[in-house]
Amino acid sequence: MDVISVLTEIPGLLVATWVLLGLAIYAGYRQNWQLRSVAADGGYLSGLGFESEKPTGLFRWLTTVDHKDIGVLYVVFATGAALWGATDAMMIRTELFTAGTDVWSAETYNALFTTHGLTMLFFFVTPAFTGLANYFIPILVGADDMSFPRINAIAFWLLPPAFFLVRGGLITEVMGKMLASVGVHWELLFSLRPPTIGWTLYAPRSIIVTNPQVDLVLLGLHLSGLATIMASINIIVTIFTERDEGVTWANLDIFSWTLLTTSGIVLFAFPVLGSALLMLIADRNFGTTFFAVDGGGPILWQHLFWFFGHPEVYILVLPAFGLVSLILPKFAGRKLFGFKFIVYSTLAIGVLSFGVWAHHMFSTGMDPRLRASFMAVSLAIAIPSAVKTFNWMATLWGGNVRWATPQIFCVGGIMTFIVGGVTGVFLASIPVDLVLHDTYYVVGHFHFIVMGVITFAAFAASYYWFPLLTGRMFNRRLGRIHGYLSIVGVFVAFMPMILIGYGGLPRRSASYPGVFEALQQVSTFGAVIIGIGALIWLTNLVQSYRLGPIVTDADVWNLRESGQFSREWQWFETQLEERTKFRR
């Protein structure tokens, strides 16, 4: 076999991997794998050097096992994935601006909503909250680090290749077109095409599609699941075994409680997904019939997927609830109302989340008695969710509310959660669900949750802990503008989808009847508002990290006044004192 024949056998994804690895090695070489003792802790303050045993540069980030560094890596990775997924969303809304298929092809549109869903659920929200957990849980419970630091690092470093596998088709296609522009045409770089099977990966379509990228997507999702399980085990063990003597179950902070519950859900939900993915790979490549009509049947896939998929909703939303419960009282001037009931409601959601999966399948023709039992559990889970909402409102009631940026996002998140929750109750009802199933109503409902309370909580945390993470303060005016734009944007973008769903328009189609065009355009306008807000957020944080006012007093939010100068800020105060001592 000659050299050219060998080269043509190399998969395009492997070529892309080599190129990116080469760029990383070159970047490390350019920095001489620096080992200088200049680094930051408890604030990655740029431009000021002070003594530390940590190396700097690329070498530090590739080799670190420090929970704070890994937490930052998670957050940076999640931010990059979110921006990519948001680009998919804007491309979707661009196509839907007119009723016909005018901008992208139907295949490209299908690929866009597939990769948008997978990216946002597996590579944005979960890593973002895992990153915050990595950074803050050891501090909040008084531990030196996570229980298994090296497993912690491995869990993170599994994510980039997993993401690369899921999005590989687009990457190799772009590389192929770049090479083609300079006269080099490598057909193999075009052999992988973005998947068009939808983020739920429903059989039998996910089995019969011949695109080899689908196999890589399944492997990438399996890899991300392994990473999530490893991170969850670490969180559970850390909270159980590494707590300081003064941190009891009674005074464990609410964020740690929600992360503990979330990690418990992960241990039961993700192995089911991993097993189902391997069965799907076997059906595609080895002739098994797990999800074929002659074997288990396509409905088996839906059962396995949603047994993971609905608890996944709570894997995403419980950390957001924890952040709202943690941050909101700080700016209400009083402690969280009904702390114990919020903890109990969190545990109740964790248990009930495994009993609601089949409400996604009411229209599949399952036994009516079975449907009724799942409807009852689905309605029941609204109770602990409502407990949280009323406790947040009671915390605000009579409080000295300060409308700082984190508080704007917390209150905005409660507003969107109420809309998303109430619309979800209707979907839990069999007669209504049979009418609205697979319409835009469903898209509007879960985006009020995912883009509303979940993303808003992440934004609130990014502003609330920004001074602690960077040692600088952000531009408060830009932060408030971002907050108000986001709230308006979410309602303008997703409320029309509720109305479109009532009109009966099915989702997942690039074209639609012209009667829905005006509402689709309003929805696209809302998406643009959200996008402008996100750009303001990114610009504000990057510029503030570079040039923002340096924090010299750890009580940046005046929390001592209300007795809520909590453990992470006390830790930050110690770090500031150490920084002053060693600053050169």
> pLDDT (tens digit, 0 to 9) for every residue of the chain, 584 residues total?
444 444 444 455 556 666 666 766 666 565 555 444 444 455 555 555 555 566 667 778 888 899 999 999 999 999 999 999 999 999 999 999 999 998 888 988 999 999 999 999 999 999 999 999 999 999 999 999 999 999 999 999 999 999 999 988 777 777 777 788 777 777 777 778 888 999 999 999 999 998 888 999 999 999 999 999 999 999 999 999 999 988 999 999 999 999 999 999 999 999 999 999 999 999 999 989 999 888 888 999 999 999 999 899 999 999 999 999 999 999 999 999 999 999 999 999 999 999 888 888 988 888 888 899 999 999 999 999 999 999 999 999 988 999 999 999 999 999 999 999 999 999 999 999 999 999 999 999 999 999 999 999 999 999 999 999 999 999 999 999 999 999 999 999 999 999 999 999 999 899 999 999 999 999 999 999 999 999 999 999 999 999 999 998 999 999 998 899 999 999 999 988 877 665 54
> How is residue 185 annotated by DSSP?
-
- Find all residues with CB under 8 Å of 190, minimum gap 6, and list them: 12, 172, 173, 176
Please count the other Cβ atoms lying within 10 Å of the Cβ belonging to residue 558. Answer: 15
Sign, CA torsion 210/212/218/221: negative
Phi-psi region of 445 (alpha: psi -120 to 50; beta: other; left: phi over 0): alpha
Cβ contact 96:105 at 8 Å: no
Cβ contact 152:231 at 8 Å: yes
Nearest to 402 by CA among 392, 410, 394: 410
The pLDDT value given to residue 32 = 52
> How is residue 251 annotated by DSSP?
T
CA–CA distance, 482 with 535 (Å, rounded to integer)? 9
The pLDDT value given to residue 7 = 45
The pLDDT value given to residue 8 = 46
Q: Structure pTM? A: 0.89
User: Which residue has 């930052």 as its token pair?
Assistant: 72
CA–CA distance, 115 with 132 (Å, rounded to integer)? 24
- Find all residues with CB under 8 Å of 221, minimum gap 6, and list them: 118, 122, 162, 166, 273, 277
> Omega before 204 cis (within 30°)?
yes
The pLDDT value given to residue 186 = 74
Strand positions, DSSP E, 445-552: none
The pLDDT value given to residue 44 = 58
The pLDDT value given to residue 247 = 93
CA–CA distance, 351 with 377 (Å, rounded to integer)? 11
Nearest to 262 by CA among 359, 154, 133: 133
Cβ contact 414:394 at 8 Å: no
CA–CA distance, 574 with 567 (Å, rounded to integer)? 11
Helix (H/G/I), strand (E/B), else coil: 281: helix
194-205 b/e (C-beta count within 10 Å ≥ 16 → b): bbbbbbbbbbee
The pLDDT value given to residue 577 = 84
CA–CA distance, 355 with 314 (Å, rounded to integer)? 12
Give the largest Cα separation in the chain, rounded.
Answer: 80
CA–CA distance, 152 with 231 (Å, rounded to integer)? 6
The tokens for 310 are 């609905």
Helix (H/G/I), strand (E/B), else coil: 38: strand
State residue 550 phi and psi, 5-degree precision. Answer: -75, 135
User: Which residue has 């600088």 as its token pair?
Assistant: 472
CA–CA distance, 12 with 316 (Å, rounded to integer)? 33
